[in-house]
Structure 1
Amino acid sequence: MSENTGRGRQTKEYDPAGVQEFFAARAADWDSRFPDDGPAYATAVAELGLRPGAAVLDAGCGTGRALPALRAAVGAGGVVVGADLTAEMLTAAAEAGRGRAGLLVRADVSRLPIRTGSLDAVFAAGLIAHLPQPAENLRELARVVRPGGQLALFHAVGRAALAARHGRPLTPDDLRAEANLRPLLASSGWRMVSYVDEDTRFLALAVRED
């Protein structure tokens, strides 16, 4: 998923059924709403520096727009998995032919059906604002990645541009603000290594600590 609903930080009021309902209603025309995001996805994937044969998860993959770039990066011998909570998003991904680039799995990223330390990287587009318990959920992403593996938190537009799109101001508790995100990642098994927040993209890269 790439578009943020503007719901902000999820807490005990998190409603997975509501999240699924929101995205299910938009799955069929999701790609047509954001037709120009492809190059930004490809650039973000390139910055992960994935090697041929690597194993990577697209967490909250939505319609799978990152999957072709991830497959190109890891090659035919690599493993690409796209996981999303919403069945309709996965159906749209399959109908767009992106199931050929990776295995599509319906799964909650807070409880991934993936072995501990089995992945080299996680790519997550527009995911963090939808995590019910950000620290615990980022820790779950860390669980499935080997020490030294990578995490990319991506959005096709920056924080200010996204807030303007939704007609709301940036708030101090925005999880994507560097001052909030860096310690959040550190408490969840990750070390932030780069942070970019521009009008045309948001990308935070982190490395899995030992």
Structure 2
Amino acid sequence: MRVKQYASAGGSYMLTHREYFNSKADIWDSLCAPEEKAKLETIIRGLNIAPGSTVLDVGCGTGILIPYLLAAVGPAGRIVALDIAEAMLERAQSKGFPANVEFICADVVSIPYPDATFDEVICNSAFPHFPHKLKALKEMARVLKPGGRVVICHTKARETINNLHRSLGGVIAGDQIPPGSEMMGMLVAAGLTGIEIDEGHDYYLASGVKARYE
């Protein structure tokens, strides 16, 4: 399957972020240690994603999350892996995932799918890099089915991630996970309910559910 590409709705910031992550594609998998992968597997299992679900993997990178999502949704499910960086997607595609995985090169603030398409929207290790975070959350909520869930997850604590980005500098120096109250406000403003924010000592989870009736 070829990677489908869509024009970015963003400005010049997308070029710099895209270039940054394209430049990291060849080494990205090596940056995810075995213990990080084990945590990801635990996180996805804990979400209790229903078999047969349609899942959007936002900021999928090289597809690190896809094996765990496939185990959750099973052969009757479907995964759409979305990223802004073409080189990341090409690396993910080269891993030989089954036909129920689709790759899309697009901007999270302009997801090329109709309203109410997905049962779950999972964003792993990407949310800090979205300059327009509320707009991104609203777009994720738009493509959710009523009763569907948005999940933001990381295998490190919020402050650990924020400090790491500051120390790396460059285009990602200011890419931060917002504090709890701000994150809560954005999830609510995106139209989500049942908000949960879990800031562990070595992980981060934030989620919300799209109302079944509006």
Q: Same fold, TM exceeding 0.5?
A: yes
**Alpha-carbon distance, 1:99 to partner:** 6.0
**Alpha-carbon distance, 1:166 to partner:** 4.5
1:72-124: CA deviations, max 9, x gaps? Answer: 11110111110001000001112233466621111111111112101101000
> How many residues in Structure 1 have an aligned counterpart in Structure 2?
195
Task: Answer yes or no: is 1:148 the counterpart of 2:147.
Answer: yes
Gaps of 5+ in 1: 1-11
CA contact (8 A) 1:59 1:83 kept: yes
Higher mean C-alpha deviation, range 123-132 or range 57-66:
123-132
Distance 1:182 1:111 in 2: 22
Task: Answer yes or no: is 1:28 the counterpart of 2:26.
Answer: yes
What percent identity do the matched residue pairs reach? 29
CA contact (8 A) 2:148 2:210 kept: yes
Q: RMSD of the TM alignment (CA)?
A: 2.1
Query: Could you say what secondary structure the match of 1:110 adopts?
Result: helix
* 1:64 aligned residue: 63
Distance 1:99 1:28 in 2: 22
- Code of the residue aligned with 2:20 in structure 1: it is F
* Aligned with residue 16 of structure 1, among 14, 17, 29: 14
Task: Mark the CA change 1:100 to 1:18 in structure 2 (over 3 Å): closer, same or farther.
Answer: same
1:113-142: CA deviations, max 9, x gaps? Answer: 112101101000122222232222211111
**Alpha-carbon distance, 1:161 to partner:** 1.9
Higher mean C-alpha deviation, range 135-144 or range 99-108:
99-108
Task: Mark the CA change 1:138 to 1:163 in structure 2 (over 3 Å): closer, same or farther.
Answer: closer
CA contact (8 A) 1:117 1:144 kept: yes
Task: Mark the CA change 1:167 to 1:124 in structure 2 (over 3 Å): closer, same or farther.
Answer: closer
Query: Could you say what secondary structure the match of 2:109 adopts?
Result: coil
* Aligned with residue 188 of structure 1, among 187, 190, 198: 190
Distance 1:61 1:201 in 2: 18
State the TM-score, normalized to the length of structure 1: 0.84
Task: Mark the CA change 1:98 to 1:137 in structure 2 (over 3 Å): closer, same or farther.
Answer: same
State the TM-score, normalized to the length of structure 2: 0.83
- Code of the residue aligned with 2:197 in structure 1: it is Y
**Alpha-carbon distance, 1:165 to partner:** 3.2
